[in-house]
Amino acid sequence: MIILLVLVFVVLALLGYLVGIYNGLVRVGAAVKLAWSNIDVLLVQRHDELPKLVAVCQQYMQFERDTLERVTKARNAVDAARSSGNVNSVGAAERELRAGLGGLYAVAESYPDLKANESFRQLQARISGLETAIADRREIYNDSVNANNVRLKTFPDVLVASFGDFPVAKLLQFATDEKTDVDVKALFAH
């Protein structure tokens, strides 16, 4: 009878341990989804602000159509990539959008009236704030992805994960040139 109780206790303890691992895997997977959702919210907010910035700039920048079209095209690419949920596509589209915005801000330097426009300054500040928030959320997302992926590859979690639907998540990475200092002189060489 004691052996049976000990055996039942061991089985229950093992089952409890496995349930704990399973729940932990669910939590780290949910953290990845939450972190991505937080980035998504900011991308949508920036997506909504960019047409306003382009509209204000169009009033002043009659001959800079290429710059405005590049920002608009990049905005649409980011929206399409965001909607698809493809992390790699978002990274590439973000690269194009940041380059377009850098060009827009550089060209805006040639238009003193535009730089002095209150709407332009507010939109520029809002978009810059969103860029900073996106960078912060990207770091949180990548930390969540790392925690998820480490759990999925460590023992005994890997055994429990093999019985469920626990996908490996992808880091949100950007090109090497985006990690280096910005060449401000090149931005203003228009």
Q: For the residues 171-179, what does the mean pLDDT come to?
A: 64
In a domain, residue 10? The reply is no
13 alpha-carbon distance from chain centroid: 40
In a domain, residue 14? The reply is no
Measuring CA to CA, which residue among 134, 138, 171, 141 is closest to residue 28? Answer: 141
Confidence of residue 57 (pLDDT cuts 50, 70, 90): confident
List the CATH number of the domain containing 104.
Answer: 1.20.1440.20
144 alpha-carbon distance from chain centroid: 12
| pLDDT above 50 for 139 | yes
Burial of 66 (0-12, 13-18, 19+ CB in 10 A): exposed
In a domain, residue 19? The reply is no
In a domain, residue 9? The reply is no
How many distinct structural domains can be found in the chain? 1
In a domain, residue 140? The reply is yes
Average pLDDT, the chain: 86
Top-confidence residue, 48 or 190: 48
Domain ranges, residue 69: 24-187
Q: Please list, residue by residue across 83-98, b when 16 or more beta carbons sit within 10 angstroms of its beta carbon and e when fewer do.
A: eeeebebbbebbbbbb
Q: For the residues 50-71, what does the mean pLDDT come to?
A: 81
- How many residues are listed for the chain in this entry? 190
pLDDT of res. 174: 67
DSSP state, 178? Answer: G
Please give the C-alpha separations between residue 131 and each of 70, 158, 165, in angstroms, as whole numbers: 18, 36, 33
| pLDDT above 50 for 189 | no
In a domain, residue 7? The reply is no
Residues 160, 22: contact at Cβ < 8 Å? yes
In a domain, residue 98? The reply is yes
The 10s digit of each residue's pLDDT in 147-161 is: 999 999 999 999 999
